């Protein structure tokens, strides 16, 4: 395959991946909100919808990576931005850990969004907001433990990437919180709600992952 043909195949693959991701995200968001809203018949606040959406992104990332890891030749090399199935097999342990972590973390974030929205509307939630918070906190501890375990198996590239993600996350949070907090203090904008801070933290980490990967060329389309 020529270089030009390979690039074209890579872009076609990325377009298909984007379409699948967009369809899954939109469908999952609609179905999820309708499902949990139907439990108590309440309306979601903007903050809870945003947090639920971020949790859904993490969960879908876990699902897609998990499916690709379990079936690298059937689904993995088509769903994920890898050169071939062998690349997935080589990184299976790390990818599996990431998939489980993202899926569970996303579910916990969505649960907190639902519990907070139901509590604000005076409706019954699947779990109490306090319990949803402690579940999320427990998941974060587990997520950290998985990250430490995975760190031991990382090569130099992945260790540098992890450090960059952490640094970018901190810098993004610093800028947004200073600007938002200062503007709110002067009455220019409304101050953040508690859920907004949770959304901002998880959203900043998600954006940092894409930025760090993009800087190292890991977002460049690759054909299987």
Average pLDDT, integer, range 154-164? 85
d(CA 126, CA 208): 32
Among 54-63, 88-97, 155-164, the least confident range: 88-97
Concatenating the DSSP letter of every residue in 40-76 gives HT-PPPHHHHHHHHHHHHHHHHHHHHHHHHHSIIIII
Work out the mean pLDDT of the chain and round it to a whole number.
Answer: 80
Bigger pLDDT: 112 vs 20: 112
The sign one gets for the Cα dihedral 122, 127, 130, 135 is negative
Average pLDDT, integer, range 184-204? 93
pLDDT at residue 145, as a whole number? 84
Is residue 122 predicted with pLDDT exceeding 70?
A: yes
Is residue 176 predicted with pLDDT exceeding 90?
A: yes
Residue 186 in contact with residue 194, Cβ under 8 Å? no
pTM score: 0.80
pLDDT at residue 175, as a whole number? 95
Is residue 36 predicted with pLDDT exceeding 70?
A: no
């Amino acid at each position: 395959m020529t270089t030009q043909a390979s690039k074209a195949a890579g872009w076609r693959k990325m377009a298909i991946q984007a379409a699948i991701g967009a369809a899954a995200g939109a469908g999952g968001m609609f179905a999820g909100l309708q499902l949990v809203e139907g439990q108590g018949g309440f309306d979601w606040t903007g903050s809870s919808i945003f947090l639920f959406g971020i949790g859904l992104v993490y969960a879908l990332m876990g699902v897609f990576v998990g499916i690709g890891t379990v079936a690298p030749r059937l689904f993995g090399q088509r769903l994920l931005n890898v050169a071939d199935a062998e690349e997935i097999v080589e990184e299976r342990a790390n990818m599996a850990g990431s998939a489980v972590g993202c899926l569970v973390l996303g579910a916990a974030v969505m649960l907190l969004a639902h519990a907070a929205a139901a509590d604000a509307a005076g409706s019954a939630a699947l779990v109490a907001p306090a319990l949803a918070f402690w579940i999320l906190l427990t998941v974060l501890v587990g997520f950290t433990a998985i990250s430490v375990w995975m760190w031991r198996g990382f090569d130099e590239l992945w260790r540098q990437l992890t450090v960059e993600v952490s640094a970018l996350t901190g810098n993004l949070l610093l800028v947004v919180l200073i600007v938002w907090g200062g503007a709110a203090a002067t009455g220019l904008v409304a101050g953040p709600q508690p859920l907004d801070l949770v959304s901002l933290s998880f959203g900043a980490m998600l954006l940092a992952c894409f930025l760090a990967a993009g800087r190292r060329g890991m977002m460049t389309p690759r054909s299987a």
